[in-house]
Amino acid sequence: MEEQKKKVIFSAIQPSGKITLGNYLGALRNWVDLQSDYNALYCVADEHAITVRQNPADLRKQTLELYAQLIAIGLDPAQSIIFIQSHVPQHAELAWVLNCYTMFGELSRMTQFKDKSATHADNVNAGLFTYPSLMAADILLYQADLVPVGEDQRQHVELTRNIAQRFNGVYGDVFTMPEAYIPKVGARVMSLAEPEKKMSKSSANENSYVLVMDKPEVIARKFKRAVTDSEGGVYRSPEKPGVTNLIEIYAAVTGKTPEAVEQEFAGQGYGAFKPAVGDAVIEALRPVREETERLLADKAYLESLYRQGAEKAAALAVRTLRKVHKKVGFAPR
């Protein structure tokens, strides 16, 4: 595929915590695959994170750790543009302009605003209400063709399209109309403690999730404690959600089919199966954890990567912003 014919794909992730095994297998491994087929931009969305109160030291630490993890999983700074949102001021500048082309009624209908307002009732701030305009700016700044999203985020892409259409209707073709891109389904990883629920770091039970940065002994312990059942057979069944989840995880990290996993452990009990899943996950995550630790220890190198990422992103963003400012009538800088 020739470089100039590649479509632009944009994706962002908030530094609101640690990456789980579920995040990694479900979404982030896909990002690595996408970068060879598209002109890819990947963003650590720290400006979005502050709609909820953050401890400043923790936010800084989580931002850099997440950036390092994105490199460690295989995102290539020579191939993709990988940057921190607040390092590219054009995001906030365009967001203000787009606020003026986003209707109050549209924002009030956003599902995530309703959910977060209920969860953080003591801090329903204007940023929480208008952050879809910032999300639209994130996408439209880079003339993105595609935005990888889950079903829960599709509403934001639709709003972005509405805003772009409204702006283009007044001023001509300024913005590319982005499309939601539903990636190929990664492994759907469920909780180790409550296998009917998705794995989530917000769970109060730390044995229910595995973090990419967990030490090997911690991962091994969590899998040994994983909920199964009293029946004993290693096979998938709606009546065996815990075992089914472990089979899917083992398949995802080894590249084997679930059928092959069932054959491999036929006639063996959970005493052999659960530690084997733990060991396979440890080996799959080991290079990611070790490379993340290496990057975090080399602060100068890590800084050089995110500076270069921000410079490349800004070079693209400034073109769009200059055009927008001219269209709305701002005096040239």
Contact 11, 42 (CB under 8 A): yes
Is position 7 annotated as part of the catalytic site?
A: no
Residue type, 106: E
Given 116, 222, 240, 274, the catalytic residue: 116
How many angstroms separate the CA atoms of 24 and 6, rounded?
25
Given 6, 18, 198, 224, the catalytic residue: 198
Q: What is the pTM of this model?
A: 0.89
Is position 198 annotated as part of the catalytic site?
A: yes
Given 6, 7, 18, 201, the catalytic residue: 201
In the chain, what are the domains? 3-186+299-328 (3.40.50.620), 206-293 (1.10.240.10)
pLDDT in tens, 269-291: 899 999 999 999 999 999 999 99
Task: Report the 10 Å Cβ neighbour count for 47.
Answer: 23
How many angstroms separate the CA atoms of 187 and 24, rounded?
9
How many angstroms separate the CA atoms of 165 and 163, rounded?
5
**188-212: string of b/e by CB count within 10 Å (b at 16+)?**
ebbbbbbbeeebbbebeeebbbbbb
Residue type, 216: P
The pLDDT tens digits along the chain (333 residues) read: 444 589 999 999 999 768 899 989 988 888 998 999 999 999 999 999 998 889 999 999 999 999 999 999 999 999 999 999 999 999 999 999 999 999 998 988 887 777 777 777 777 888 888 999 999 999 999 999 999 887 667 888 999 999 999 999 999 999 999 999 987 666 789 999 999 999 988 888 999 999 999 999 999 999 999 999 988 899 999 999 999 999 999 999 999 999 999 999 998 989 999 999 999 999 999 999 999 999 999 999 999 999 999 999 999 999 999 999 999 999 998
